[in-house]
Amino acid sequence: MEELLKIEGFSLIKGDPATVISSVEFDSRKCAAGSIFVAIKGFASDGHEYIKAASMNGASAVLIDSSRDQERFSVEKILEQVTHDIAIVETSDTRTALGTVSQAVYEHPEKKLDIAGITGTKGKTTITFMLRSIMEAADVSTGLVGTVVNIAGGQKIKAEHTTPESSDLYKMMKDMVDAGDKALIMEVSSQGLKLDRVFGIGYKVACFTNLYEDHIAPNEHPDMEDYFRSKLKIFDSCEAGIINADTPYKDAAAEYAKGKCDVLFYGTEADADIRASSIEHYSEGSESGSIFELTSPWYKGQVKIALPGRFNVSNALCAISCAGVMGVPFEAVKKGLETAHVPGRMQPVPNDMGISVIVDYAHNAAALENVLSTVREYALKRIICVFGCGGNRSRTRRFEMGEVSGRMADLTIITSDNPRSEDPLAIINDIVTGIDPTGGIYETKPDRALAIKYALSIAEPGDVVIIAGKGHEDYQIFADRTIHFDDVEVARAALDEVKEERQ
C-alpha cells in the first residue's frame, strides 16, 4: 500500500498505509485477503455498488473514484458497507488507475518484456501466431495474448477477451516474467485501447493492419471515426510503428504516428519498406501456402508461409516487420513462418478423399471474400461454402455475407452460427436476402452439424469445402443453452462417416 500511496493523485481516506496488497481486482467475486478492489463505473453497472461484496470476500483495500456519485457512494455510506477494517483509497480516474495499480503490485512486468502489439480489424490473430512461431524458432521464450488463447511460460490459458482488463493483463505478464518469457506478442483490440486496458504498456513495436466496418455499436464505437481513432492510440507509446502500405488508411495512420515513433510500411507496393514480390501459391497434399521474394531493411530472400492467400502474405509481412525490429535472425523468420499454423484460420482438415476442407473464422463480408478469392486460385472444381451469422449482431453483415458467398461460391449451405436469442430461421432468411440477387445456388440447413455433414457428403474429389464463421470457437450459443461445438471436430467426424458410407 505504501508504494501505491506514492503515486500522484492517490490519497488514503481511511485505513492502515502499511496494508499489504498482493493482487488487483475489478471483479468483487475474485477478491480475497490481500486484494485491492478497484471500483470502476462501466457501461452496465458501477463498481462502487460492489464494495460490500468485495469486503465480504476479504478484500484488504478499496480504490474509489472521486467522480463517483457522491450521494449514493459517499465515504460514510461506503464505510457502512464494509464488513471489516479495510483501507479506502481515492483517485480521480479508477479506469486508468487499474493499470497504474497493477503495474506497482505486479512489479512492472511490462519493463521486463519486449512487447509487440498488433491492432486492426483483420489479421491480428494470424500475425500474433506467426510472430510467436518466429520468436520460438529463434529460441526466445515468448508469451501471447489474444482472441484464441493466452500463453504464459508455454502454458495455455483460456482467452475471455481479445485484450484482457489491465489488472488481468499485468498479472499475466508477471506470470510470463516469472516463467522466463522474454517477449510478449499481443493482439490489441480497439476496445482495449479505448477503455485503457493497455494503459502504461510501452511497445517495442506496434502495428496497424487495416480497418473495415465492424464493432460499430452503442457499447463499442459510435462511428468509424471513433473506431479508427481508438486503433491509432497504439502509436502513443511505442518505439517503432508498422503500418500496412496497402490500406487506404495508411496516410492518416502515418500522420498520427509521425513524431511519436519511427514509422515503417509493409506491403506489396513498390515503396513499402518491407515488401513481397513474385508471390506464388503452392499446394502439397492437404497443405497449401505461398512463396514470395522478400525485401526489407533487415532481410532479403525467399520466404515460404504455410497459410494460403495474399492476405496471409500481408500478415506475414507484418510479422516479419516486427521480427526485424526485435532483432530476430532471418533463418528463424523463415523457419517460424514455414511452420506457423493458426487455429481456425484457413485451417485444413486432412482427409484421404481428395476433398479440400478448410475451417476459417471469417465472420464478415471482407474476411469471407478474402477466403473465397484465395481458394478460387487453386480450387480444381467446386467451392462449397458453409456458414451462418451470429444472432443479436448486425443484420447488414448477413446481407453482405450472403451476397459474397452467392457471388463467389458454387454452392452455399446456409446454416446457424451462434443464434443467441434470435430465431435461427430469421437469421438464415436475412442471409438469403443477400444471396438472392446474385443468382447463386444455395440450400438451407439450420443444424450446423448436419449442414457440415451434408456439404461433405456431396463434395467430390477436387472440390473445396469452406466452413466459415466460427473458426477456433468450441461452443455454440442458443437462446436457452450453450453447447460444445468445434467445426474441426465436427468436420473430422463427418468425414469419417462419409468415407464409411461411400465404401
**Nearest-5° angle of CA 443, CA 446, CA 451?**
65
* pLDDT attached to residue 1: 86
**In angstroms, rounded to a whole number, what is the distance separating the alpha carbons of residues 311 and 110?**
31
What residues have CB less than 8 Å from 131, skipping those under 6 apart? 116, 118, 185, 319, 322, 323, 336
**Nearest-5° angle of CA 166, CA 230, CA 27?**
25
| Whether residue 213 has pLDDT greater than 80 | no
* pLDDT attached to residue 286: 67
With beta carbons less than 8 A apart as the criterion, state whether 203 and 115 touch. Answer: yes
Cell 511490462 sits at which residue? 110
pLDDT digits (tens, 9 = 90+) for 162-201: 889 999 999 999 999 999 999 999 999 998 999 889 999 9
Taking alpha carbons only, the member of 260, 263, 266, 273 closest to residue 233 is: 260
With H, G, I as helix, E, B as strand and everything else as coil, classify residue 265. strand
pLDDT digits (tens, 9 = 90+) for 143-169: 999 999 999 999 999 888 888 999 999
pLDDT digits (tens, 9 = 90+) for 390-436: 999 889 999 999 999 999 999 999 999 999 999 999 999 999 999 99
| Whether residue 324 has pLDDT greater than 90 | yes
* pLDDT attached to residue 290: 95
Instruction: Assign 111 a pLDDT band (cuts: 50, 70, 90).
Output: very high
| Whether residue 218 has pLDDT greater than 90 | no
Using only the alpha carbons of the chain, give its radius of gyration. Answer: 25
User: What is the pTM (predicted TM-score) of this model?
Assistant: 0.87
Cell 461460391 sits at which residue? 409
**In angstroms, rounded to a whole number, what is the distance separating the alpha carbons of residues 324 and 32?**
43
* pLDDT attached to residue 160: 84
H helix intervals, 378-475: 395-408, 424-435, 448-458
* pLDDT attached to residue 263: 98
* H or E element, residue 254: helix 250-257
| Whether residue 79 has pLDDT greater than 70 | yes
**In angstroms, rounded to a whole number, what is the distance separating the alpha carbons of residues 274 and 245?**
9
Give the mean pLDDT of 91-100.
Answer: 95
What residues have CB less than 8 Å from 327, skipping those under 6 apart? none
With beta carbons less than 8 A apart as the criterion, state whether 431 and 402 touch. Answer: yes
Instruction: Assign 214 a pLDDT band (cuts: 50, 70, 90).
Output: low
- Residue 116's alpha-carbon distances to 135, 199, 273, 318, in angstroms, are 11, 15, 18, 11
* pLDDT attached to residue 65: 95
pLDDT digits (tens, 9 = 90+) for 252-309: 999 999 999 999 999 998 899 999 999 998 887 667 899 999 999 999 999 999 999 8
With beta carbons less than 8 A apart as the criterion, state whether 447 and 485 touch. Answer: no
With beta carbons less than 8 A apart as the criterion, state whether 446 and 428 touch. Answer: yes
Give the mean pLDDT of 124-128.
Answer: 96
Q: How many CB atoms lie within 10 A of CB 22?
A: 12
Give the mean pLDDT of 60-79.
Answer: 93
| Average pLDDT of the chain, as a whole number | 94
| Whether residue 221 has pLDDT greater than 90 | no
**In angstroms, rounded to a whole number, what is the distance separating the alpha carbons of residues 141 and 96?**
29
- In single-letter form, the type of residue at position 44 comes to A
* pLDDT attached to residue 501: 94
* pLDDT attached to residue 438: 98
Give the mean pLDDT of 438-465.
Answer: 98
* pLDDT attached to residue 180: 98
Q: How many CB atoms lie within 10 A of CB 48?
A: 20
CA 388 to chain centre: 20
Q: What is the DSSP string of 290-336?
A: EEEEEE-SS-EEEEEESS-SHHHHHHHHHHHHHHHHTT--HHHHHHH
Taking alpha carbons only, the member of 275, 123, 147 closest to residue 210 is: 123
- DSSP state, residue 273: S
* pLDDT attached to residue 224: 85
Q: What is the DSSP string of 114-181?
A: EEEEEESSSSHHHHHHHHHHHHHHTT--EEEESSSEEEETTEEEE-SSSS--HHHHHHHHHHHHHHT-
Give the mean pLDDT of 435-459.
Answer: 98
Q: How many CB atoms lie within 10 A of CB 351?
A: 18
Give the mean pLDDT of 46-61.
Answer: 96
* pLDDT attached to residue 288: 85
Q: What is the DSSP string of 166-225?
A: HHHHHHHHHHHHHHT--EEEEE--HHHHHTTTTTT--EEEEEE----S--BSTTSBSSHH
* pLDDT attached to residue 202: 97
Cell 457428403 sits at which residue? 457
- Domains of the chain listed by start with CATH number: 4-105 (3.40.1390.10), 109-339 (3.40.1190.10), 347-502 (3.90.190.20)
